[in-house]
Amino acid sequence: MPTYEYRCQACEHQFELFQSITAPPERRCPRCGRLKLRRLIGPGAAILFKGSGFYKTDYRSPSYKKAADADKAGGNDADSTGSNTAKKETPAKK
């Protein structure tokens, strides 16, 4: 839900209001009570995904995705330090 900016034409009270896109614009000023409230035209904003369900890596560049796919296809088992992450087997004791 977006945040809209409003200004009263009677008392010049200006504030922001968090409301649904489909909600009708407010008309009554919360400070003076007159029906002179107008929604201001803002600069616009991009959609910003926040929260635990979104990850920074969800929207990587195509070149990054291509390099990641190449690493997967190559069967590279080394971690970022270059050491092998597979466990070495030790002989069983008798």
Domain definitions of the chain by residue range? 1-73
- Whether the pLDDT of residue 82 is over 60: the answer is no
How much is the pLDDT for 80? 47
pLDDT tens-digit profile of 20-70?
889 999 999 999 999 999 999 876 655 666 666 666 666 667 887 788 888
Rounded CA-CA distance 25/8 in Å is 13
How much is the pLDDT for 43? 65
Helix H or strand E encompassing 65:
helix 62-74
* Fold entry, domain 1-73: Rubrerythrin, domain 2 (2.20.28)
- Whether the pLDDT of residue 88 is over 90: the answer is no
What residues are paired with 43 via a beta bridge?
none
